[in-house]
Amino acid sequence: MKEFTDIINDVASRCVAVRTLSTARSITRHYDNALRPVGLTITQFTLLVTIAKVAPESISQIAELLFMERTSVSRNLSLLEKQGLIQRGHAKEARKRPVALTPQGQNTLREAYQCWESAQSQLENEFNRDELQNTMLSLRALRNIC
């Protein structure tokens, strides 16, 4: 059996989850700061982009696409709906309510894109093209094995 300090040192130096979570928090903060002028978080921005691209039929579909908890999606959609950025349709089938951007949501997404582009460019400029592509592939591979 390993000593307690050895266990702590082992986890602190090797744990993929610890490193990924801390990196994700840092990146999230970077994008949240950039999107603050338009009143969105990166999570909300991502939801708007997903809604515009997919025209989802349900909260569950959005959650599955974004690897998010359904409750987190629901909470953020409620905020976006209160801001007038999305609208939820009437249920066509049990538990399915389509979600769509409103014209105001489309305008906000256009405005937010400028903020996102600036934040994205800052990160892209820190890596050469191959490094960034390898990082993205590694992240996708980690997501797919979990």
Dihedral (CA of 20, 26, 31, 37) sign: positive
Q: Give the residue among 33, 37, 31 at the shortest CA–CA distance from 49.
A: 31
Averaged pLDDT, groups of 10, the chain, 146 residues long: 94 93 96 98 97 94 95 96 93 75 98 97 90 92 89
The Cα diameter of the chain in Å comes to 61
Distance CA 48, CA 80 (A): 9
Find out whether 38 and 112 touch, Cβ atoms under 8 Å: yes
Q: Which CATH number fits domain 39-145: 3.40.50.980, 1.10.238.10, 1.10.10.10, 3.40.640.10?
A: 1.10.10.10
pLDDT at 91: 67
pLDDT at 93: 60
